[in-house]
Amino acid sequence: MDLISTFSEFKELKNIDRPTMMSVLEDVFRGMMTKMYGSDENYDIIINIDKGDFEIWRNRTVVERVIDENTQISLADAKKIDDSYELGEDVSEEVKLESFGRRAILSLRQNLAGRILDLEKANIFNKYKERVGDIVVGEIYQAWKKEVLIMDDEGNELILPRSEQIPDDRFRKGDTVRAIVLQVEMRNNTPLVILSRTSPIFLERLFEQEVPEILDGLITIKKVVRAPGERAKITVESYDDRIDPVGACVGVKGSRIHSIVRELRNENIDVINYTTNSQLLIQRSLNPAKVTSIKINETTKRADVFLKPNEVSLAIGKNGLNIRLASQLVGYEIDVYRDEVEEDEDVDLDEFSDEIDSWIIDVLKSIGCDTAKSVLKIPVDELIRRTDFEEETVDKLIKIFKTEFE
């Protein structure tokens, strides 16, 4: 039996460099030498990976009386190899693999295969350990209920668990998928590469791919929070006053952000201009709600936000999603409150000159009433008594003023 077929397999290995391969092969052969002869020091092993063959040469010293057959050879035996050998000289002769026996060769092959497999596993582990947080692209090889098996361009297996998939993700065999490397671990001596499409880092990497200014360092992503497939908020900052970070991330007519939204199954993305002003940042994070005022407690890291009644639901969002993401983004626990109902602005009496005679307005002013509300505050009987108006006139005035504030 020979190992030519084994060499042919190893020549095609993609994750092992040539020096490492040579070292492993020699190490395995020397291990066999040591096991069979007690030492490998007097053996030369020549390996030719390209041709798929190897040679083993044993070096022995010519002596009169042989004590160690592994390292010594008698003069008579040496002369059988070459008649010119003398005492004290070194004799090199090739050892044929067949001389080791079938069992030793089988053991060698298994040992070699095991070492190479372990090397491949270690290289895959190290390769992806360095790529944690990077986007990888692969093809769906198998889709199960709890996870999806993905093959990269080198045929390595990657796992995308259901928990790391966007809720609306639906994959079929042969589909191409993008995700980030979330974690890499050794499980039962096998590298397990876990991918994610729900991590905030995935959204961050997508922006880096779509927005050159981020990749060039002109725009910095400060923080990303997500409810995968539903909504995300991202704060960005530019160190160049000429660059609008939000505009650059969104793109002309939304061209840049649309591709990201499609990749994330129509996830609604709020891009927010970062600021160190906490109040302003909270206000921006609650978009699209319009904030009236904010009270911040730095000790408890809480923020009380006041809004008009019709803005409260916008600030909270569906199932509290908007306010929850805003809290995560700014680092404050946000509570929203309805503003006290503001009184409508008052109206000067002169504004009613087209509906009310000027002499009537003059009389109202003479009793200290300059605005519509100041008239409405006076009871009807009291108003009649003080102005000497007919009841019908007073009723008409009150109707006009009330209509103004309805």
Last-in-domain residue among 125, 148, 172? 125
Task: Give the torsion sign (CA, 73, 74, 75, 78).
Answer: negative
First to last CA, the chain: 102
| Mean pLDDT score across all residues of the chain | 87
**What per-residue confidence (pLDDT) applies to 7?**
55
Residues 115 and 158 in one domain: no
Residues 327 and 364 in one domain: no
Residues 97 and 136 in one domain: no
Q: Which of 59-68, 99-108, 159-168, 371-380 has the lowest mean pLDDT?
A: 99-108
CA-based radius of gyration for the chain: 42
> What are 62-79's pLDDT values in tens digits?
898 888 888 888 988 888
Burial of 249 (0-12, 13-18, 19+ CB in 10 A): buried
Nearest residue to 12 via CA among 45, 49, 48, 46:
49
Residues 112 and 12 in one domain: yes
In terms of residue numbers, what domain contains 325? 275-342
**What per-residue confidence (pLDDT) applies to 2?**
47
> What are 81-118's pLDDT values in tens digits?
888 888 988 888 888 777 777 887 787 778 877 877 88
Q: Is the pLDDT of residue 1 over 50?
A: no
Residues 28 and 94 in one domain: yes
| 329 domain-assigned | yes
| 120 domain-assigned | yes
| 238 domain-assigned | no
Q: Is the pLDDT of residue 120 over 90?
A: no
Mean pLDDT computed over 29-51: 79
Residues 112 and 66 in one domain: yes
Q: Is the pLDDT of residue 346 over 70?
A: yes
DSSP of 240-303:
STT--HHHHHH-GGGHHHHHHHHHTTS-EEEEEE--S-HHHHHHHHTTTSPEEEEEEETTTTEE
Beta strands in 28-103 (DSSP E): 43-48, 53-63, 72-74, 90-94
**CATH number of the domain to which 315 belongs:** 3.30.300.20
Residues 48 and 115 in one domain: yes
> What are 280-335's pLDDT values in tens digits?
999 999 988 989 899 999 999 999 999 988 888 899 998 899 999 999 999 999 99
Last-in-domain residue among 303, 327, 342? 342
Residues 91 and 177 in one domain: no
How far lies 347's CA from each of 352, 369, 373, 379, 395, in Å?
9, 11, 7, 19, 18
When pLDDT is cut at 50, 70 and 90, the band that residue 19 belongs to is confident
| 211 domain-assigned | no
**What per-residue confidence (pLDDT) applies to 34?**
82
When pLDDT is cut at 50, 70 and 90, the band that residue 269 belongs to is very high
What percent of the chain has a predicted confidence (pLDDT) above 70?
A: 93
| 326 domain-assigned | yes
Number of domains in the chain: 4
Residues 47 and 106 in one domain: yes
Last-in-domain residue among 170, 196, 222? 196
**CATH number of the domain to which 54 belongs:** 3.30.1480.10
Mean pLDDT computed over 161-176: 95
| 361 domain-assigned | yes
Q: Is the pLDDT of residue 56 over 90?
A: no
**What per-residue confidence (pLDDT) applies to 340?**
60
Are the C-beta atoms of 294 and 283 separated by less than 8 Å? yes
Residues 90 and 47 in one domain: yes
| 247 domain-assigned | no
Q: Is the pLDDT of residue 364 over 50?
A: yes
Mean pLDDT computed over 132-137: 96
User: Cα–Cα distance between 249 and 259 in angstroms, integer?
Assistant: 11
What percent of the chain has a predicted confidence (pLDDT) above 90?
A: 46
DSSP of 96-160:
PGGGG-HHHHHHHHHHHHHHHHHHHHHHHHHHHHTTBT-EEEEEEEEE-SSEEEEE-TTS-EEEE
Residues 99 and 150 in one domain: no
Length of the chain: 406
> What are 210-254's pLDDT values in tens digits?
999 999 999 999 999 999 999 999 999 998 889 999 999 999 999
**What per-residue confidence (pLDDT) applies to 405?**
74
Residues 51 and 120 in one domain: yes
